[in-house]
Amino acid sequence: MRNRMIAGNWKMNETYTEGVVLAQGLAKELADGTGDVDVVVCPPAVDLKGVAEVIEQENAPFALGAQNVYWEESGAYTGETAPNMLTNIGATYCIIGHSERRGYFGETDEDINKKAKALMAHDIVPISCCGEPLEVREAGKHVEFVVDQIKKDTEGLEIADPSKYVVAYEPIWAIGTGKTATADDAQEVCGAIRKTLADIFGKETADGIRVLYGGSAKPNNVAGFLEKEDVDGALVGGASLKADSFAAMVKAAM
């Protein structure tokens, strides 16, 4: 019903030259295909074109995603990237609302909602991130915190094809720290996310939306998350920067 997804978030790593080499390495690792698993690679903006060329030249079995977008079509927005600029170079996915963008760059749920609408208007699939900070988890309020984010981030969205909207649950305390949530922790929140999506969009749509887990996901722990009913894949940071470890995670999902 839902294809699994493994998405790599390179964050601010890999120059253009390094990014091309990493994408070539990944193309080689995945040369036999990825079965029913949808694989997405999200390099920094200046690497996108280079990775797009590798995908084309190697006929690589992964899609290209950006890490950010602005919601306006064009104009005086220095430093920003418009949705049609992404489409034009072959990006079909875009991460939005990552906790690093919320935390360091002040992105709000309202911004994330506008970005989702702009992307979907251009047929780019949002990978919309949510997740709680440590103090919220320790206070036992993580489910309501994330449910609130989901409601705000999806407000007014129209999801005609549920395979074209992806949610990533990334507890902030587990990102880049080596501390993973347990598979049961992930299921608790991913299940609540799907229930919230069902309340908003109906069960059929919610059943078709991929909900990923992210936060220190690695080759040696990804299988445990994937066993859970409402965890459909992983958004991978650190472990996506080595072709062999990222490919191992794809293979674990196959």
CA separation, residue 38 to residues 30, 62, 79, 164, 189 (Å): 12, 7, 30, 12, 22
How many Å apart are CA 131 and CA 142, to the nearest integer?
A: 8
- Catalytic annotation present for 170: yes
How many Å apart are CA 148 and CA 158, to the nearest integer?
A: 18
10 annotated to a ligand binding site: yes
Window 83 to 102, contacts with ligand PGA (CB under 6 A): none
Report the residue from 19, 43, 97, 237 that binds ligand PGA according to the rule CB under 6 A.
237
**Least Å distance between CB 214 and ligand PGA?**
4
**Least Å distance between CB 237 and ligand PGA?**
2
- Catalytic annotation present for 122: no
217: contact with ligand PGA by CB under 6 A: yes
CA separation, residue 205 to residues 25, 38, 81, 208 (Å): 36, 18, 29, 5
216 annotated to a ligand binding site: yes
Window 174 to 213, contacts with ligand PGA (CB under 6 A): 175-176
Window 102 to 141, contacts with ligand PGA (CB under 6 A): none
Report the residue from 19, 215, 219, 233 that binds ligand PGA according to the rule CB under 6 A.
215
Report the residue from 9, 67, 187, 221 that binds ligand PGA according to the rule CB under 6 A.
9
**Least Å distance between CB 40 and ligand PGA?**
12
Summarize the annotated binding site as residue ranges: 9-11, 176, 216, 237-238
**Residues of each annotated binding site for substrate:** 9-11, 176, 216, 237-238
The residues annotated as belonging to the active site are: 98, 170
Site of interaction with ligand PGA (CB under 6 A)? 9, 170, 175-176, 214-217, 235-239
